[in-house]
């Protein structure tokens, strides 16, 4: 256990140290990456040579422009046209950087391009400001030749404008177009300054107008919601209406009191004039028609009282109610007359009617209806008084809200008026400010400036190899792959059993002879004998001898060969070691235990219709020879067979352990080609049944991280060493 812990510490330390490129291995890295360095160098030098060939001479045309600033009320204003690469700057002194940005702005350059478009239709702004020419200076340059006269004084600067091109005439025409653009720009300054100077006011105006609109809208909503214009005026009207209602109520109550007194008087007169009054009153009370008419008159009087509160007596609805009341009174008199002149047994006798004055009865009925009307009127007036009082009580809060909204409307309107006045006065002030451009030197025909052919050739020759080496070192820094066999021992602290160069690929020759292959197919009478050209190399013989030296104390009867990743060449090495063992007079069985992705039968050209998977399933027979395919008098092959559904179940079965023990008794050496350690659990299961485990790692393919993970998995098993595959002469470092 102490040995394992020490190994793991060494692995971690070694892995962390691989982050940087070891300067002592610089020559090895350069040799390994020589083709990459050569390729990068060739590409760079070819590009430099091509640029040198196509490089053309350049010509430059120049002109000088004087920028004079005007003063207005002791201040200066600067104006830059609106565009993606310009901004407005208001300061007392116009600095040279701002002027250069202005003169090189896309807005002005586009105007110059439009002027020369007829002569040069393919020219664009990108061709002028250098956006299409990376790592090169722009063809158009603006540089100040002298600074300002002093801080806070009249600004005066001279700028040199130059343009380089392959055509001297084109350089001159472009500067002439720029000259015209700059001169026309002076005419546009006043309008531009006015727009930019008023930007704040113009931006503020919509906000103020929105505030005015919002205030007006709030006041309008208040008026619509409460259905009034001015709550103070409406409150006064309601108070006056309340006083009038109170006066009418007093009058109605007085009239009602008089009517009640008259009604009582008439009732006494009728009682004193006739002894039959009780009989008449009884009949009136018992008459349903009389009571109905009386109730209808009361309703009419109530409705009439409500309408008289709203309208005059001439209003149609009031006239209609008055006519309705007269009709109801007429019907009531007729009903009273009918009741007083009849009874259940017939009409009253003259003796019974003695002492009753018909006029008195009519007056009694009239007074009775008048009392009803006055009672209804008094009730309606009382309700109106109560309603008006409740409405008047609401007006203090409405007046307070109205007094809050009205000042906002007045203030916003006043602010809008003041801002409009400021806009007008500020426009007059800005119109007097600005600056002028004057051309001092006219553009001349472009002068020859030379070319850069020699610079390109020398630069390509020097930069190419340097860039190639830099790319190689960068790739090496971020590359975690292992290229040296010595690194295998440093990372794992395991024996290096040997190194194998890249073996040449060759075809497999086959010839057939009769051997029984399956008891179920004995009728075929077919046997196989294959003379195979197996991979043979002296390094494979050395690896086999190194493995034999490690026997403890008995020789290894079964060896499993695996790798961290697929495609590291372990199948080819297994066949080569089998060939080396046969030359040592050993009888060898090679088993393809990679049930998911078998390759042994493909390399040897054998059938995979039967093999290890079927042999594991067929637990009833011990005649494994039916599944064996000989390819050499001393070499037998057990292919993987059809892929089963559950490889883990088959490989971990007791049958697998028994078969390996049976193979060890029947052969001198059993070589098992197992699947990779990482990604599957199959190799870990098979490893537990074998005497020894050998890892095969291809240089340049496996990384330090993957190798560390694989060796940690097999650390508790009998891992005897590692074989470095496809090692070049510069990488061959054997562990002692």
Report pLDDT for 426.
72
Distance CA 371, CA 469 (A): 124
Q: Across 210-219, 396-405, 478-487, 685-694, which has the greatest mean pLDDT? A: 685-694
**Whether the Cβ atoms of residue 635 and residue 628 lie closer than 8 Å to each other:** no
Using a CB cutoff of 8 Å and minimum separation of 24, what contacts does 537-541 make?
A: 537/500, 537/501, 537/503, 537/576, 539/498, 539/499, 539/500, 539/501, 540/498, 540/500, 540/573, 540/576, 540/577, 540/579, 540/580, 541/580, 541/583
What is the token pair recorded at 644? 């089963």
Q: For residues 159 and 225, which has the higher predicted lDDT (pLDDT)?
A: 159
- Per cent of the chain over pLDDT 90 is 8
Q: How confident is the model at residue 622 (pLDDT cuts 50, 70, 90)?
A: low
Distance CA 106, CA 261 (A): 104
What is the token pair recorded at 733? 């470092």
Question: Helices 106-116 and 168-197 sit at what angle, rounded to 10 degrees?
Answer: 140
Q: For residues 56 and 9, which has the higher predicted lDDT (pLDDT)?
A: 56
**What would the pLDDT profile of 93-141 be if each residue is shown by its tens digit?**
446 787 788 888 888 888 888 888 888 888 888 878 766 555 567 888 8
Domains in the chain, CATH or no CATH each: 2-53+451-477 (no CATH), 231-420 (no CATH), 485-725 (3.40.50.300)
pTM over 0.95: no
Distance CA 59, CA 493 (A): 69
Does 636 score more than 70 pLDDT?
yes
**What would the pLDDT profile of 529-581 be if each residue is shown by its tens digit?**
444 457 778 888 888 888 888 765 567 889 999 998 888 888 989 999 999 99
User: In a 10 Å sphere around its CB, with 0-12 CB exposed, 13-18 middle and 19+ buried, how is residue 454 labelled?
Assistant: exposed
- Per cent of the chain over pLDDT 70 is 74
**Whether the Cβ atoms of residue 510 and residue 534 lie closer than 8 Å to each other:** no
**What would the pLDDT profile of 652-676 be if each residue is shown by its tens digit?**
889 999 899 999 999 999 999 999 9
Segment 383-401 mean pLDDT: 78
What DSSP letter does each residue of 85-145 carry, written as one string? TB-----SS--HHHHHHHHT-HHHHHHHHHHHTTT-TT--HHHHHTTTSTTS--SEEEEEE
Report pLDDT for 676.
93
Report pLDDT for 95.
64
Report pLDDT for 281.
64
Mean pLDDT lowest among 385-389, 577-581, 694-698: 385-389
Q: How confident is the model at residue 298 (pLDDT cuts 50, 70, 90)?
A: confident
Does 242 score more than 80 pLDDT?
no
φ/ψ of 387, rounded to 5, equals -65, -45
């Amino acid at each position: 256990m102490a040995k394992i812990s020490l190994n793991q510490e060494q692995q971690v330390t070694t892995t962390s140290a691989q982050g940087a490129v070891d300067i002592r291995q610089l020559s090895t890295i350069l040799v390994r990456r020589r083709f990459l360095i050569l390729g990068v160098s060739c590409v760079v030098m070819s590009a430099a040579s091509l640029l040198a060939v196509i490089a053309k001479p350049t010509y430059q045309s120049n002109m000088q422009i004087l920028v004079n600033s005007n003063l207005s009320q002791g201040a200066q204003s600067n104006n830059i046209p609106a565009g993606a690469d310009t901004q407005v700057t208001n300061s007392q002194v116009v600095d040279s950087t701002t002027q250069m940005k202005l003169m090189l702005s896309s807005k002005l350059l586009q105007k110059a391009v439009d002027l020369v478009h007829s002569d040069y239709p393919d020219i664009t702004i990108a061709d002028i400001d250098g956006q299409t020419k990376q790592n090169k200076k722009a063809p158009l340059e603006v540089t100040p030749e002298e600074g300002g006269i002093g801080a806070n004084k009249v600004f005066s600067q001279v700028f040199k404008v130059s343009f380089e091109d392959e055509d001297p005439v084109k350089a001159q025409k472009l500067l002439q177009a720029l000259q015209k653009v700059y001169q026309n720009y002076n005419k546009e300054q006043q309008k531009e300054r006015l727009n930019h100077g008023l930007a704040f006011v113009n931006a503020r105006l919509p906000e103020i107008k929105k505030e005015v609109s919002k205030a007006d809208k709030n006041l309008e909503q208040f008026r619509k919601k409460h259905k009034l214009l001015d709550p103070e005026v409406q409150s006064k009207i309601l108070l006056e209406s309340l006083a009038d209602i109170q006066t009418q109520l007093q009058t109605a109550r007085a009239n009602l009191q008089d009517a009640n007194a008259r009604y009582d008087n008439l009732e006494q007169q009728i009682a004193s004039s006739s002894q039959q009054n009780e009989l008449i009153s009884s009949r009136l009370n018992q008459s349903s028609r009389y009571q109905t008419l009386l109730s209808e008159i009361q309703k009419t009087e109530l409705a009439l009282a409500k309408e008289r509160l709203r309208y005059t007596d001439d209003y149609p609805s009031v006239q209609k109610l008055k006519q309705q009341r007269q009709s109801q009174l007429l019907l009531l008199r007729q009903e009273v007359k009918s009741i007083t002149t009849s009874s259940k047994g017939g009409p009253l006798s003259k003796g019974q009617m003695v002492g009753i004055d018909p006029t008195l009865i009519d007056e009694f009925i009239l007074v009775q209806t008048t009392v009803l009307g006055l009672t209804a009127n008094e009730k309606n007036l009382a309700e109106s008084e109560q309603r008006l009082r409740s409405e008047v009580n609401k007006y203090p809060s409405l007046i307070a809200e109205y007094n809050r909204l009205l000042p906002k409307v007045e203030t916003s309107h006043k602010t809008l008026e003041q801002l409009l006045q400021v806009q007008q006065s500020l426009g007059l002030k800005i119109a007097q400010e600005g600056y002028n451009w004057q051309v001092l030197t006219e553009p001349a025909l472009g002068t020859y400036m030379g070319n850069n052919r020699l610079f390109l050739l020398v630069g390509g020759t020097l930069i190419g190899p340097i860039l190639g080496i830099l790319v190689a070192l960068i790739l090496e820094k971020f590359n975690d792959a292992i290229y040296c066999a010595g690194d295998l021992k440093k990372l794992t602290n395991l024996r290096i059993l040997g190194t194998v160069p890249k073996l040449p690929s060759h075809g497999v020759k086959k010839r057939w002879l009769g051997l029984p292959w399956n008891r179920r197919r004995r009728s075929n009478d077919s046997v196989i004998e294959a003379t195979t050209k197996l991979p043979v190399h002296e390094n494979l013989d050395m690896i086999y001898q190194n493995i034999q030296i490690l026997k403890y104390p008995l020789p290894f009867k079964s060896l499993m060969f695996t790798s961290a990743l697929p495609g590291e060449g372990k199948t080819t090495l297994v066949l080569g070691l089998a060939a080396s063992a046969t030359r040592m007079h050993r009888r060898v069985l090679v088993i393809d235990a990679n049930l998911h992705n078998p390759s042994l039968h493909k390399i040897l050209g054998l059938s995979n219709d039967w093999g290890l998977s079927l042999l594991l399933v067929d637990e009833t027979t011990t005649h494994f020879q039916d599944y064996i395919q000989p390819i050499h008098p001393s070499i037998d092959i057990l292919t993987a067979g059809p892929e089963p559904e559950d490889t883990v179940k088959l490989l971990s079965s007791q049958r697998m352990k028994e078969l390996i023990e049976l193979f060890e008794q029947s052969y001198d050496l059993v070589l098992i080609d197992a699947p990779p350690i990482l990604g599957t659990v199959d190799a870990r299961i098979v490893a537990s049944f074998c005497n020894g485990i050998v890892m095969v790692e291809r240089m340049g393919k496996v990384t330090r991280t993957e190798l560390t993970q694989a060796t940690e998995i097999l650390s508790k098993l009998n891992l005897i060493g590692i074989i470095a595959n496809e090692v070049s002469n510069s990488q061959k470092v054997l562990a002692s």
